Amino acid sequence: MIKAKWAFAVLLALSCVSANAGSQVGKVTGLLVRATDGLVYFEIEGGVASDKPACATKTYWMIRDENSEVGKKQYAMLLAAQASGRELAVRGMNTCNRWGDGEDVNWLQLR
């Protein structure tokens, strides 16, 4: 019984953490990479982003760590989506760590 309560508490805590993470589906319309600090951010057209955290006051999304293997893969996926004109689904991390007014990307899905 104690294990079941513990598992339920962990699941509840995890669901609360990601409850406000933003999401959006559409085509990549803007992609910017800055030389000064390596910042990569992008915008998507089609549908309004839902459930973004309060810190994400702008419409763009941020690659959280463009130097990591994941960040490089996400950037490659952004380029592929933009070049092909295919839709992209994005899900945020409920944080604005990389830049104060854009949500950090958790995952991308090319559709």
pLDDT number for residue 46: 82
- Across the range 102-109, mean pLDDT stands at 98
* Whether the Cβ atoms of residue 41 and residue 102 lie closer than 8 Å to each other: yes
pTM, full prediction: 0.80
Please report which confidence band the pLDDT of residue 48 belongs to, taking 50, 70 and 90 as the band edges: confident
Alpha-carbon gap, residue 108 to 101, rounded angstroms: 19
* Whether the Cβ atoms of residue 43 and residue 28 lie closer than 8 Å to each other: yes
* Whether the Cβ atoms of residue 58 and residue 76 lie closer than 8 Å to each other: no
- Is the pLDDT at 14 greater than 50, yes or no? no
Alpha-carbon gap, residue 62 to 101, rounded angstroms: 9
Helix (H), strand (E) at residue 76: helix 69-84
